[in-house]
Amino acid sequence: MIDTILQHKTVRKYTNDKINDADLEAILEAGIRASTTGNMQLYSIIVTRDQEMKEKLAPSHFNQPMVTKAPVVLTFCADFNRFNKWCEARNAKPGYDNFLSFYTASVDAMLVAQNVALAAEEKGLGICYLGTTNYMAQQIIDTLNLPKGVVPVTTITLGVPDEEPELTDRLPLDGVIHFEEYSDYSAEQIDRIYEEKEELPSSKKLIEENGKETLAQIFTDNRYTKENNITFSKALLSVLEKQGFMNQ
């Protein structure tokens, strides 16, 4: 499994091969063995295989081709709806209509998603996480008919790879690990930690193509701008309010 983890690649192109039911069930079974808060399993997974449904989902993911091309699309949701119904049916009063409960359930959902990703890659399949889930949560809620108490957290496309992408760069281990307590970074350490990433030919190409001075500006000015962060933050907070997670 460590070898599988170290060889993780984001796969966006898939063959037309379908994933058989037995393999998909095994992958999902591995998913739900993930750690979970209090063994409550505060998540649900929506499995989308129908082509028409994938096409309905595509606009929520900015019409990225892998949504309609992948044989399976998995939407992982923070879900207190099921647990609340169980509590109420057993004469227990749930108090999970708050942000902490959403945060707890979203962690549960992400743990399951990563288990699923690892299990799929162990079987030789390719996966791609879709961050657009957070941006377009309300549209996904409407498309998948998610009830109150359920919020989409992430999406994974899954299929047989039709490409062999290179490994994505990562920061050096000592750039992200702190022993015993957090040690803040000096300017010299920042330079060292990001040096390899900045010196990659692909990074230099991005800088040139976008007319920027530094790689950091690609992130702040192009990919994850303050304006977009504020817009999507407001949208997500509105979703949490509507789905019953913002009571105080």
Q: What is the pLDDT of residues 88-99, one digit of tens each?
A: 999 999 999 999
Q: Is the pTM of this model over 0.85?
A: yes
Query: Please, which pLDDT band fits residue 75 given cuts at 50, 70 and 90?
Result: very high
User: Is residue 78 situated within a structural domain?
Assistant: yes
Report the chain's mean pLDDT, rounded to a whole number. 97
User: Is residue 194 situated within a structural domain?
Assistant: no
Using the structure block, give the residue that is written with the tokens 């057993």.
Answer: 90
User: Is residue 157 situated within a structural domain?
Assistant: yes
Rounded to an integer, what distance in angstroms lies between the CA atom of residue 107 and that of residue 38?
12
DSSP state, residue 152: E
User: Is residue 186 situated within a structural domain?
Assistant: no
User: Is residue 232 situated within a structural domain?
Assistant: no
User: Is residue 135 situated within a structural domain?
Assistant: yes
DSSP state, residue 88: H
User: Is residue 98 situated within a structural domain?
Assistant: yes
Q: What is the pLDDT of residues 97-111, one digit of tens each?
A: 999 999 999 999 999
Query: Please, which pLDDT band fits residue 208 given cuts at 50, 70 and 90?
Result: very high
Residue 75: give its domain's CATH number. Answer: 3.40.109.10
- pLDDT(248) > 80: no
Number of domains in the chain: 1
Bridge pairing between strands 72-79 and 43-48: antiparallel
Report in angstroms the alpha-carbon separations of 49 from 24, 74, 99, 124, 125.
11, 9, 32, 19, 16
User: Is residue 47 situated within a structural domain?
Assistant: yes
Q: What is the phi-psi region of residue 149: left when phi exceeds 0, alpha when psi lies from -120 to 50, beta otherwise?
A: left
Q: What is the pLDDT of residues 105-143, one digit of tens each?
A: 999 999 999 999 999 999 999 999 999 999 999 999 999
What is the average per-residue pLDDT within 160-180?
Answer: 96
Give the percent of the chain with pLDDT over 70.
100
Instruction: Please give the residue range of the domain that contains residue 159.
Output: 2-166
